[in-house]
């Protein structure tokens, strides 16, 4: 069956066409990123995001169909992001998906955005079976979840305040790197001194899987305030390396604690921050030699995209666990 996946939870308008089968194929996966619209504000403005989704969603869906070499009449089902996310953008995607499903007389299924991020890793490892530990780390979410059979989710720990991706972006803004800054920090950090400055690691050493990044943002703010702009620019690579080290260090240490606590031998990582090379290397360093399977999504599928939403629906369909549209509770959390 051919699936159309629609993602509109934040600032990417994304549609994808996937073909289900023994091996699921991504036939197309275009998206429009609203970086230009939001960079002037230094962050995502929900009202602006919703308007941009309205402008772009029809053309992105048409582009997905054209690139896949099929027609709209070939689509057998639609999967769209039902939440969590920004209410306005979510409503745009849901309304488009449900309207199209009525027009084509095919089913539409609401999918949890975080489950989509995990399904992105599944696309690269389709033999993956629960139980396993999951680390979802993005601009809006940082959490460790245990997934068991029949899509049973148990929260092991999550951030108390800010997400790791937000910490990357906001700290980068303080350093004058613009928005978004996560990928820029990763590039500037390569080859520089990760011990140049010790930024705080909140809750490290605590016997739990909880995260906190608000104090890190405050620490970077104080650092910028107490050093000249010239000093910041001269040592920007070392500062970025030290900042990246602090964020990755706490992500890895909490994940290691959760792996030991649950006894899981498989770790699935998803979300935009999963593209970070230093995070990948540090988790790989721990898992290698300990018999732990580590599954990352392809970097092209790390950030929000339509393929991950369709993949999540296909994964549920294979386990006969899809929800009818009337049963979907929009913006429902992944775990209690």
User: CA-CA distance, 95 to 93, in Å (whole number)?
Assistant: 6
pLDDT tens sequence for the chain (336 residues): 999 999 999 989 999 999 999 999 999 999 999 888 887 787 889 899 999 999 999 999 999 999 999 999 999 999 999 999 999 999 999 999 999 999 999 999 999 999 999 999 999 999 999 999 999 999 999 999 999 999 999 999 999 999 999 999 999 999 999 888 999 999 999 999 999 999 999 999 899 999 999 999 999 999 999 999 999 999 999 999 999 999 999 999 999 999 999 999 999 999 999 999 999 999 999 999 899 999 999 999 999 999 999 999 999 998 877 755 444 443 333 443
Q: Do 14 and 31 touch, CB atoms closer than 8 A?
A: yes
User: CA-CA distance, 44 to 163, in Å (whole number)?
Assistant: 14
pLDDT of residue 60: 98
Q: Which residues contact 187 (CB under 8 A, 6 or more apart)?
A: none
pLDDT of residue 178: 83
Q: Which class does domain 129-300 fall in?
A: alpha beta
Q: Do 114 and 135 touch, CB atoms closer than 8 A?
A: no
Which of 133-169 are b and which e, b meaning 16 or more Cβ less than 10 Å from the residue's Cβ? bbbbbbbbbbbbbbbeeeeebeebbbbeebbbbbbbb
User: CA-CA distance, 86 to 317, in Å (whole number)?
Assistant: 26
Q: Do 287 and 258 touch, CB atoms closer than 8 A?
A: no
Which CA distances in Å does 211 have to 155, 183, 201, 214, 249?
Answer: 13, 21, 9, 10, 11
Closest Cα to residue 250, out of 117, 121, 137? 137
DSSP states along 165-205: HHHHHHHHHHTT--SS-HHHHHHHHTTS-TTSS----TTTT
Q: What is the largest CA-CA distance in the chain?
A: 62
pLDDT of residue 323: 59
Domain spans in the chain, listed from the N-terminal domain onward: 2-120+303-327, 129-300
User: CA-CA distance, 57 to 78, in Å (whole number)?
Assistant: 14
Per DSSP, the three-state class of 288 is coil
Global pTM value: 0.91
User: CA-CA distance, 238 to 280, in Å (whole number)?
Assistant: 20
Q: Which residues contact 267 (CB under 8 A, 6 or more apart)?
A: 132, 133, 134, 135, 255, 259, 283, 287, 292, 293, 294, 295
| Superfamily grouping for domain 2-120+303-327 | ATPase, nucleotide binding domain (3.30.420.40)
Closest Cα to residue 57, out of 102, 26, 100? 100
Domains 2-120+303-327 and 129-300 share a fold: yes
């Amino acid at each position: 069956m051919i699936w159309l996946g629609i993602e509109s939870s934040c600032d990417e308008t994304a549609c994808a066409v996937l073909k289900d089968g023994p091996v699921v194929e991504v036939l197309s996966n275009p998206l429009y990123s609203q970086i230009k619209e939001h960079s002037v504000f230094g962050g995502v403005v929900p009202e602006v995001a919703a308007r941009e989704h309205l402008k772009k969603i029809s053309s992105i869906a048409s582009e997905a169909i054209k690139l896949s070499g099929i027609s709209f009449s070939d689509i057998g089902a639609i999967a769209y992001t039902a939440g969590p996310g920004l209410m306005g953008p979510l409503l745009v995607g849901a309304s488009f998906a449900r309207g199209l499903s009525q027009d084509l007389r095919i089913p539409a299924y609401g999918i949890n955005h975080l489950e989509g991020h995990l399904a992105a890793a599944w696309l690269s490892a389709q033999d993956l079976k629960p139980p396993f530990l999951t680390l979802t780390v993005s601009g809006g979410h940082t959490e460790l979840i245990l997934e068991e059979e029949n899509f049973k989710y148990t929260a092991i720990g999550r951030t108390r305040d800010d997400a790791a991706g937000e910490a990357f972006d906001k700290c980068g803004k303080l350093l004058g790197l613009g928005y978004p800054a996560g990928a820029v920090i990763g590039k500037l950090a390569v080859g520089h001194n990760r011990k140049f400055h010790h930024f705080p690691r909140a809750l490290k050493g605590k016997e739990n899987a909880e995260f906190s990044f608000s104090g890190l943002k405050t620490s970077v703010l104080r650092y910028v305030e107490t050093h000249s702009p010239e000093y910041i620019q001269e040592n920007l690579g070392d500062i970025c390396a030290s900042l990246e080290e602090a964020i990755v260090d706490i992500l890895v240490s909490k994940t290691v604690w959760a792996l030991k606590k649950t006894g899981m031998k498989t770790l699935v990582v998803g979300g935009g921050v999963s593209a970070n090379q230093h995070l990948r290397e540090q988790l790989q360093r721990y898992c290698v030699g300990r018999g732990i399977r580590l599954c990352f999504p392809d970097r092209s599928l790390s950030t929000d995209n339509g393929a991950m939403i369709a993949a999540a629906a296909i994964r549920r369909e294979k386990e006969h666990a899809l929800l009818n549209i009337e049963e979907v509770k929009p913006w429902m959390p992944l775990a209690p």
